Structures are given as C-alpha cells and as structure tokens.
C-alpha cells in the first residue's frame, strides 16, 4: 500500500489531471495570503514594539522583548499563523484533487471558498498541532539553555568558533543526546497526526476527531510514512538546487558568447532572467503541490478512498482565461527581471576593512596586523579597544588573555606596565614572538596618514562613558577625527558617542533589524552580520541615509555577492583577497561584469 513507485505514479497522475485547477488555486491563494498575511504580521509587530515602548536594536534588547509576556505571545501567534497559512494552502489543494464537478476555475474557487468556510476548524487544528509541539520542545529547550549557561555562559561566540574550546565539546556531548531524544519524540508526534488535515478536509471531521482519526490510520505505518515524507522533502529541496546548477552551467556560457553590445546583451539577459523567474515559480508550485498530494494520497491509501483521476470538463472560454493567466505570469516575470537588471550597477566600489588588521597574516589587533592591512591595500583597520586596570586605552578584543596566551588573567585587572610584558605574537608563529598589545595612542600614531580606522568600543560594565571619552580625546589629539569610525554592539554606547562627538562617524553593529528600529539610533552606519544582509534590507538602510557594512566576509564568492548587493564596506580577515577581487573586477569589460552580477544574483 505504501510502496514508493505506485505512490509516486498516483501523485504524478493527479498533478497531470488537475494541474490547471491547482495552478489557479495556487495563484488565487497566494494573492489573498500576501494581501492579508504580510500587513498583518508587520502591523502586529509594530504594535508590539509600540506597546513595549523601548528601543529594540541590540541582541540583548531583542532577547528581552522575545522573553517578555507580550513578546512570547506575539512569537507564538506568529508561529501558529505561519503554519496556519501552510495548512490553508494544503487544504485547498486537497479539495481541488478530490473534486469531480465543474471546470478548473470553478473547482479552484470552490476550494478557496471551502477553505474560508472551514477556517475556524483549520485554525483550531493548526494551533493544536503547533501548541503540542511547542509544549514538547519547551523542557528540552530549557535543558539545552541551562547547559549552555553552565558550560559556555562566559565565553564569547567568536571564541567558540575560532578556538573550539574543550567546554564546547562537553556542551555538544550533553546537548546532542537531548536534541536527539526531542527529535524522535517530535517526529513520532508529527507522524501520529500527519493525516489529521486530510481527515478534517475530506471527511468533514472536527479538529479533535481528525487528530484521533489520523492516530488510527497511521498506527503501525508511521515509520514507513516517515521514510516517504523524508524522501519527498529531500527530493523537493534538491530540485531547485539542481535546476539552478544546470541553468547556470548551460546559460552562463551561452550569454558569455554574446557580442559586447548593449542592444544585444541587455535584452538577452532580460529574457534569461524572465525565464529563470518563470521556472522558479513553476518549481515552487510543483514543490507545494507534491507535498500536498503526498499527504492526500497517503490518506486515500490508508482510508481506502480512491483518487479522483477523471478529466475535468473545460469551461466556456477557458482558452481565453488560460492565456490571460499565462500572460500575467510572463508579464510579472519580465517586470521583475527588468527591475533586477536595472539594479545592476556597472561602476561599483566598496571600502575594504581589515578585521582586527590582517588577522590571517599576523596576530590580531597588533601593530604587525596594522602593517599587514596597509600592505594588503585595506582602506580601514578594524580594531577593538578597552580599558586596562589602571584606566589606559589598549587594543584588544578579549578581556581574558587565555585565548591568545594561555594565561588566565583579565586585562581589566592588570596595569599597563604588566600588559606591556605580555607576548601575544608567539601563538601565531615564530616570526611574531615578542609582539605586544599596543596602546590605542601608539596605533593611532602608526596609522596616521596611512590608513583609516574602525574603532569598536569594548567597555567593561560601568566603564562605557570613560572609555568613550578617552577614545574621543585621543582621536582628536591625533588629528584623525575625519579618518575614524567609532563602532559598538550597544545602541546606548553609540548614542553616547554621538552626544560627545557629533562630528565623528559611528557604526552600530546589529544581528537583526526589526520594523521601526532604525528611528531609535543616531548611528551613521549600520553594520550587519553578513548572513543577514539582503537587497531589500540594504534598500531600507540606504533609504534612511545610512551606510552599510557587513562582517565578517572571508570567501571571494561572498565578497562578490555583497559588492553587487550594494554594501558600502566589507569587513574581512582577508583584505588582500578583497583587494585582488576588486582589481580583477576593474579589469573586466561591461559585459563580463554584467554576467558576474547575474551569477551573483542567481546564487543569492
């Protein structure tokens, strides 16, 4: 009954028979969901932030809001509504493939009407299933959080990634079994209720009765169903990846042989992008419908219902409606392709910022790293400053010396004379034995007239104001106020720097940006973790009059993507690689550069 080959054959036949009605429903539902869901989620989040009445920019502020009563309520509602949208779409497709009467567009509208009519029952089922899974996950999440706080609570994420300390392996050894137990229990619960949605939609049951019906139908079949579900999910996920690889492999060389004339190259790229977008829409539809039909077919097999494989009668003027729909999809693809192509800029520049200096070639945050950054052609050196135990500004990322020297001492408890004796170069290589932690004043003197600086403040508790005042005073004394950007992960620190020195540029480093948050900071530049950067967010940030920096980008492929995305500054451990990439791009013809930009857009 659950043999993969007949199952796939049934799903394929149902798509072949009902594909026009499925496409019609997919388009109707997508328009309706987009019109309602996007404004609803954005509006409720904006209302939440207004009710809370405090800025939400930093990681700590986001966590505080998420863990508040209103924040938890919004997160639960948003998660439930997201799954509800999926349930509604699957329910409509189940109705489409189970309908015998009417033309394809009448069937699609009938399915949409049925979904709206049964909305309360579908919503109740979605929230029951989501709520049960959240309750199951809660004790495991708390257990992992307590393990993290116990073993890794004082360790910076950068240290975990770069050093891989023993405590990290202890945490993983304890956390992974917990997560495995949770995954097994969650998977069992998911499969137990896997057929509840078709039971509700196709048999007219209530939410609780549908859950009980699914439990009876899946008994003794769950793990065979699990293999089918997992196989389908992997196949659906693999299809877009394979398609993109083939599309790039075949289309790239074809475009590369076109003549270097805008009259030929631009229309060809427009057609290429439009074809890609149409194919992507088609693959998205196939993925959604295949998943819905898998659930429907498994329910039909388990309950003894026969699939509907009769052809649908064609409505009058169906050709006109079909052609109209296809023309609309093609027009949408061409408009989007034109908008994408218009966003490609041939003449692009980006500032190069060496993260803690040339930290792939020399010990981080040292004078040697500064010289390496200058030699690599960097525009800025990014460095971290903090206060020593006797109140002097020094250049160091960690307060504890353990990561770089093996010495378990805190810089905030040492005098400048003691710090000057610490060797922070021996760990990097014999060539750097004797390299010291520099003072900020010494690094300013060495950098003056040679490279600009990106200075990130790392204050100890209650020392932010003193650190900011001393850093600003030393910058002014060096005559480099126009060549320095002061940065921080803390919105309050950036605001204080702006109060003390309105003329010095500032950067606020962020992991996430919530709606309306930009109005809460006076920062001139927003620094984003590079995985969070996207074209839409960049347009928002640039529209607010701010620059955008991304950190920390080390692969040349990612560098190329962010250049084409329009970032103003790339912070990297490999400034020499970014410098070489920019030189290579400057030597390209306009056609070659357009192809690179197209490749980067497709890969993103």
Which residues form the catalytic set? Answer: 355, 397
Task: Match 């004043």 to its residue by tokens.
Answer: 441
Residues with Cβ within 8 Å of residue 396, at least 6 apart in sequence: 365, 384, 385, 386, 411, 437, 458
b/e sequence 217-227, b meaning 16+ C-beta within 10 Å: bbeebbebbbe
Reading the block at residue 570, the tokens are 């790339």
Task: Match 């209302």 to its residue by tokens.
Answer: 47
Closest to 228 measured CA to CA, from 73, 409, 8, 490: 8
Reading the block at residue 366, the tokens are 């040292």
Phi (first) and psi of residue 399, to 5 degrees? -75, -35
Half-sphere exposure in the Cβ direction for 485 (13 Å, CA): 25
User: Could you count the other beta carbons within 10 Å of the beta carbon of residue 167?
Assistant: 15
Work out the angle at residue 185's Cα, subtended by the Cα atoms of residues 184 and 187, and round it to the nearest 5 degrees.
Answer: 65
H/E element, 454 = strand 452-457
Coil, helix or strand for 298? helix
Residues with Cβ within 8 Å of residue 280, at least 6 apart in sequence: 240
């Amino acid at each position: 009954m659950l043999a993969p080959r007949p199952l796939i054959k049934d799903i394929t036949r149902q798509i072949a028979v009902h594909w026009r009605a499925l496409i019609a429903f997919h388009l109707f539902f997508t328009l309706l969901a987009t019109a309602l869901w996007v404004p609803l989620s954005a509006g409720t989040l904006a209302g939440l932030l207004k009710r809370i009445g405090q800025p939400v920019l930093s990681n700590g502020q986001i966590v505080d809001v998420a863990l508040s009563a209103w924040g938890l309520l919004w997160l639960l509602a948003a998660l439930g509504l997201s799954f509800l949208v999926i349930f509604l779409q699957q329910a409509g497709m189940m109705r489409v493939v189970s309908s015998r009467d009417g033309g394809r567009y009448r069937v699609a509208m009938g399915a949409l009407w049925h979904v709206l009519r049964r909305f309360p029952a579908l919503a109740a089922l979605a929230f029951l299933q989501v709520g049960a899974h959240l309750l199951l996950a809660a004790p495991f999440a708390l257990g992992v959080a307590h393990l993290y706080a116990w073993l890794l609570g004082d360790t910076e994420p950068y240290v975990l990634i770069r050093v891989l300390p023993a405590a990290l392996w202890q945490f993983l050894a304890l956390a992974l079994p917990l997560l495995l137990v949770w995954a097994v229990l969650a998977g069992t619960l998911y499969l137990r209720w896997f057929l509840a949605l078709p039971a509700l939609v196709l048999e007219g049951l209530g939410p609780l009765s549908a859950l009980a019906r699914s439990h009876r139908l899946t008994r003794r079949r769950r793990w065979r169903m699990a293999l089918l579900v997992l196989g389908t999910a992997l196949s659906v996920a693999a299809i877009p990846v394979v398609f993109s690889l083939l599309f790039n492999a075949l289309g790239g060389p074809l475009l590369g042989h076109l003549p270097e004339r805008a009259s030929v190259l631009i229309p060809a790229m427009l057609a290429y992008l439009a074809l890609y977008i149409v194919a992507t829409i088609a693959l998205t539809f196939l993925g959604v419908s295949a998943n819905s039909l898998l659930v429907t077919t498994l329910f039909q097999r388990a309950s003894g219902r026969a699939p509907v494989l009769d052809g649908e009668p064609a409505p009058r003027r169906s050709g006109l409606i079909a052609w109209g729909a296809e023309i609309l999809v093609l027009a949408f693809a061409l408009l989007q392709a034109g908008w994408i192509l218009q966003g490609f800029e041939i003449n692009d520049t980006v500032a190069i910022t060496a993260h803690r200096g040339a930290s792939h070639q020399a010990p981080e945050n040292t004078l040697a790293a500064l010289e390496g950054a200058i030699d690599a052609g960097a525009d800025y050196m990014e460095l971290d400053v903090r206060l020593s135990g006797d109140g002097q500004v020094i250049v160091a990322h960690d307060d504890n010396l353990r990561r770089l020297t093996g010495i378990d001492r805190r810089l905030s408890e040492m005098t400048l004379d003691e710090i000057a004796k610490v060797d922070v170069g021996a760990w990097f290589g014999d060539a750097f034995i004797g390299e010291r932690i520099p003072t900020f004043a010494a690094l300013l003197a060495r950098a003056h007239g040679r490279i600009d600086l990106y200075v990130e403040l790392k204050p100890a508790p209650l020392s932010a104001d003193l650190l900011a005042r001393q850093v600003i005073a030393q910058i002014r004394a060096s005559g480099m106020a126009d060549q320095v950007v002061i940065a921080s992960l803390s919105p309050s620190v950036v605001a204080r720097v702006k109060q003390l020195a309105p003329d010095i540029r500032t950067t606020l480093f962020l992991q996430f940006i919530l709606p309306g948050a930009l109005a809460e900071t006076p920062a001139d530049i927003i620094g984003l973790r590079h995985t969070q950067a996207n074209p839409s967010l960049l347009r928002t940030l640039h529209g607010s009059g701010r620059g955008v920096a991304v950190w920390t980008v080390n692969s040349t492929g990612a560098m190329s993507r962010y250049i084409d995305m329009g970032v103003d500054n790339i912070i990297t451990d490999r400034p020499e690689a970014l410098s070489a990439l920019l030189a290579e791009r400057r030597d390209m013809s306009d056609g070659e550069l357009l192809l690179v930009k197209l490749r980067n857009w497709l890969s993103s």
